[in-house]
Structure 1
Amino acid sequence: MKNKYNLLLSLMVFLFSACSTKDEVNIPSDVTNLRAEARAGSIMLRWDNPSDLNFLYVPVQFKNPLTGAIIKTNVSYLTDSLLIDDILAKDGEYTFEIYTVGEGGERGGNTLQVSCTALPRTPVVTEHAEKIDFQVSALSANASDPTEGNLANLIDGDLKTHYHTNWHEKIPFPQWIQFDLKEPVEGVKFVSWNRNGSNNANAEEVYITGSNDGENWVEIGRILPDELPTTGGAKFESKMFYKQDMTFTKIRYNAKSGVGGKAWFSIAELEWYKTWVVVVDPERN
Structure 2
Amino acid sequence: MKKIFMYALVGVLGLTSLTSCKDDDKGPAPTAIEASSFTTESSPGAVKISWTNPANANHKYVRVTFIHPETKKQIVRLASIHADYILIDGLLGRYGEIAFTLTPVSKTGVEGKSHTVSAAAQPLPKTIKVNLQSEKAQTFVADGEGKSVWVSTLQVGEGSLAELFDGNPNTYYHGQWYNGGNGPMPHYIVLKLEQPTRAFKIFMKARHNKAADAPKTFNFLVSNTFSEENVKNPSQHNAVKVAEYASGPANTNGSEWNSPVVQLDEPFVYVWIEIHTLHSGKNWPTLAELRAWTYKLNSFDPETGETVEI
Tell me the TM-score range normalised by the shorter chain. Answer: 0.5 to 0.7
Q: Specify the alignment match of 1:240 in structure 2.
A: 262
Q: Take 2:104 and 2:119, find their aligned partners in 1: how far apart are those partners?
A: 21
Q: Specify the alignment match of 2:20 in structure 1.
A: 23
Amino acid at match of 1:253: I
Q: 1:135 to 1:229 in 2, by over 3 A?
A: closer
Q: 1:176 to 1:61 in 2, by over 3 A?
A: closer
Q: Specify the alignment match of 1:92 in structure 2.
A: 96
Aligned residue pairs, count: 274
Q: 1:128 to 1:198 in 2, by over 3 A?
A: farther
Amino acid at match of 1:172: G
Q: Take 1:236 and 1:251, find their aligned partners in 2: how far apart are those partners?
A: 15
| SS, match of residue 66 in structure 2 | strand
Kindly indicate whether residue 178 of structure 2 is the aligned counterpart of residue 168 of structure 1: yes
What is the deviation of 1:191?
Answer: 2.5
Q: How does 1:101-250 map to 2 (within 5 A)?
A: 108=111, 110-128=113-131, 130-134=135-139, 136-137=141-142, 138=147, 139-159=149-169, 161-169=171-179, 170-173=181-184, 175-186=187-198, 188-196=200-208, 198-203=210-215, 204-206=217-219, 208=221, 210=223, 212=225, 214-215=227-228, 217-221=237-241, 224=244, 226-228=246-248, 230-232=250-252, 233-237=255-259, 240=262, 244=266, 247-248=268-269, 250=270
- 1:99-132 CA distances to partner (integer Å, 9 max, x unpaired)? 4799xxx984632323333244243121346333
Q: Take 1:181 and 1:7, find their aligned partners in 2: how far apart are those partners?
A: 100
Kindly indicate whether residue 285 of structure 2 is the aligned counterpart of residue 265 of structure 1: yes
Q: Take 1:59 and 1:177, find their aligned partners in 2: how far apart are those partners?
A: 63
Conserved? CA contact 2:221–2:273, under 8 Å: yes
Q: Cα RMSD over matched residues?
A: 4.8
Q: Take 1:77 and 1:218, find their aligned partners in 2: how far apart are those partners?
A: 53
Between structure 1 and structure 2, the one with the greater Rg is: 1
Conserved? CA contact 1:149–1:166, under 8 Å: no
Q: Take 2:76 and 2:187, find their aligned partners in 1: how far apart are those partners?
A: 69
- Structure 2 alignment gaps of length 5 or more: 231-236
Kindly indicate whether residue 66 of structure 2 is the aligned counterpart of residue 62 of structure 1: yes
* TM-score, with length taken from structure 1: 0.66
Q: 1:259 to 1:211 in 2, by over 3 A?
A: farther
Q: Take 2:8 and 2:111, find their aligned partners in 1: how far apart are those partners?
A: 32
Q: Take 1:255 and 1:58, find their aligned partners in 2: how far apart are those partners?
A: 60
| SS, match of residue 178 in structure 2 | coil
- 1:58-87 CA distances to partner (integer Å, 9 max, x unpaired)? 8754356x77x8542456899989764331
* TM-score, with length taken from structure 2: 0.62
Q: 1:236 to 1:187 in 2, by over 3 A?
A: closer
Kindly indicate whether residue 52 of structure 2 is the aligned counterpart of residue 42 of structure 1: no
Q: Specify the alignment match of 2:74 in structure 1.
A: 72
Q: Take 1:77 and 1:206, find their aligned partners in 2: how far apart are those partners?
A: 49
- 1:16-60 CA distances to partner (integer Å, 9 max, x unpaired)? 424434424527644854776645312356888x8586xxx9875
What is the deviation of 1:177?
Answer: 3.5
Q: 1:149 to 1:32 in 2, by over 3 A?
A: farther
Q: Specify the alignment match of 2:234 in structure 1.
A: none
Identity in percent? 20
What is the deviation of 1:178?
Answer: 4.2
